Each structure stands twice: as structure tokens, then as C-alpha cells.
């Protein structure tokens, strides 16, 4: 009887080990975007977009109180590639803010951009006791590869501590970054847009005034004639 009980307990323990909780998975929120129906004026090539080495993993890392990074307690993961998730978020945000469909991700073979955005994301993380922080640098290049601006940014967003709200806060940071990049692109897009000239108004030729008949000047009647008497 004792042997049978031991077997049952081992079987139950084995069965409990198989019934594990599913691993939570998260994706960044692209925010409220309105994809333009028309092609638009400016053509934008996004990329290369590079991520810090510690972000190139499936595990969702947490910033601990001492500043170190560790996997989230439930070992939460990113749903799919974080790189691809960030690329699509930026692409949709820029399309909505610049009102153009002419956007492609690097390398964009055969695509001729008016502006190229090179972006390095060196930090994107948060923790239960740490706000979400984004550190990045972008560079803008024109169609000839000439640099038209470069900027380092550090953005911060508070959250309520849960993993889901941390992901929301990180999404907000990327949306704010997109807004800043779009603002830097707009002057280049405005300079590229053709100047619309209004059609000159052609005035109808003035009608010639009717000629007045020429009236010969009336000669005065001479009254100074001498009268001869015979």
C-alpha cells in the first residue's frame, strides 16, 4: 500500500509540472495613426535602424533597483522580433505624420528617397521602480547622401509598474521619437515640394473706341470787304 501511494504522488507531481502557465508575450503599440490615401510628396527611406545588443533578444528585460537588467519575473517575451516591431511602429508613425505613402525600409532596392533616416537606439527599457527610458540618435541624409541634421535624444515616460504598462510607456516613447523625426524631415519636404504658380489672368484686348467723324473747321465769314461805288 505504501508503494502504491508513492507512485501516485510521483505521478501527480509529474502532471503538475506539465501544467505550466503560458508565457506572457507583448507587442509595442503603434498608436493612433491615419495612413494617407494619397501617395504624398516626400519619399522617405527608413534605416538602417539599429538596436543595442541587449535589445536583440526575445526576453523582455527589466531595469532593477540597482540599475542592472534581468528577465521579467514571469519570463515575459516579445511577440515576434522587437526589431521588426520597432521598424513597423516608426514606419506607420512617419507615414501618418508626413502624410505620405512613399516610405520604405532600408535597403529599399530601386527606391529613390528624398530623405533617408538613419537611427540608432542605444537604450529602451524600464522596470517596476524605473520609468521607461529611450536613448537614441538620428541622422538625416538627402537624395545625394549629404547630411542635413543629426540629434541625440533622451526621452522618459512614467508608468504604473505593471509589465503591460511598461510596454505602453515604451510605445509612447517611440511615438514621441517619431514625432520629432517627422518634424526634422518636414523642412526638407517643404523645400522639395514644387512651387505652385497661379495661372496668369489674360486680359481681353480693349475694344478700340469708335472714331468720331472729322469735321472740318468752319471758316469765319469775312465781313471786312470794301464796297466800291461807281
- The answer, yes or no, to whether the previous bond of 189 is cis (omega within 30 of 0) is no
Is the pLDDT at 228 greater than 50? The verdict is no
Asked if residue 144 belongs to a domain, the reply is yes
Q: Taking residues 56-60, what's their average pLDDT?
A: 91
Asked if residue 16 belongs to a domain, the reply is no
Q: What is the pTM of this model?
A: 0.75
Q: What is the dihedral of CA 191, 194, 195, 199, to 10 degrees?
A: 180
Total domain count, the chain: 1
Asked if residue 6 belongs to a domain, the reply is no
Asked if residue 31 belongs to a domain, the reply is no
Asked if residue 208 belongs to a domain, the reply is no
Asked if residue 82 belongs to a domain, the reply is yes
Asked if residue 38 belongs to a domain, the reply is no
Residue 206 has what pLDDT?
63
The CATH number for 185's domain is: 3.40.50.10610
Residues spanned by the domain of 75: 43-192
Is the pLDDT at 213 greater than 70? The verdict is no
Asked if residue 149 belongs to a domain, the reply is yes
Of 123 and 18, more confident:
123
Amino acid at each position: 500500500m505504501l508503494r502504491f501511494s508513492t507512485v501516485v504522488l510521483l505521478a501527480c507531481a509529474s502532471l503538475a509540472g506539465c501544467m505550466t502557465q503560458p508565457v506572457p508575450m507583448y507587442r509595442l503599440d503603434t498608436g493612433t495613426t491615419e495612413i494617407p490615401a494619397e501617395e504624398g510628396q516626400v519619399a522617405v527611406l527608413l534605416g538602417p535602424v539599429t538596436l543595442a545588443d541587449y535589445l536583440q533578444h526575445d526576453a523582455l528585460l527589466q531595469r532593477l533597483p540597482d540599475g542592472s537588467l534581468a528577465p521579467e519575473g514571469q519570463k515575459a517575451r516579445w511577440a515576434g522580433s522587437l526589431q521588426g516591431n520597432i521598424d513597423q511602429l516608426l514606419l506607420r508613425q512617419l507615414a501618418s505624420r508626413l502624410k505620405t505613402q512613399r516610405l520604405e525600409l532600408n535597403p529599399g532596392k530601386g527606391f529613390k528617397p528624398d530623405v533617408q533616416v538613419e537611427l540608432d537606439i542605444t537604450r529602451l527599457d524600464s522596470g517596476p521602480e524605473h520609468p521607461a527610458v529611450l536613448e537614441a540618435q538620428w541622422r538625416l541624409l538627402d537624395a545625394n547622401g549629404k547630411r542635413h541634421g543629426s540629434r541625440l535624444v533622451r526621452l522618459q515616460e512614467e508608468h504604473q509598474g505593471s509589465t503591460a504598462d511598461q510596454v505602453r510607456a515604451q510605445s509612447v516613447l517611440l511615438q514621441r521619437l517619431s514625432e520629432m523625426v517627422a518634424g526634422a524631415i518636414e523642412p526638407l519636404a517643404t523645400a522639395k515640394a514644387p512651387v505652385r504658380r497661379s495661372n496668369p489672368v489674360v486680359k481681353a484686348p480693349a475694344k478700340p473706341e469708335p472714331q468720331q467723324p472729322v469735321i472740318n473747321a468752319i471758316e469765319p465769314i469775312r465781313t471786312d470787304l470794301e464796297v466800291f461805288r461807281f
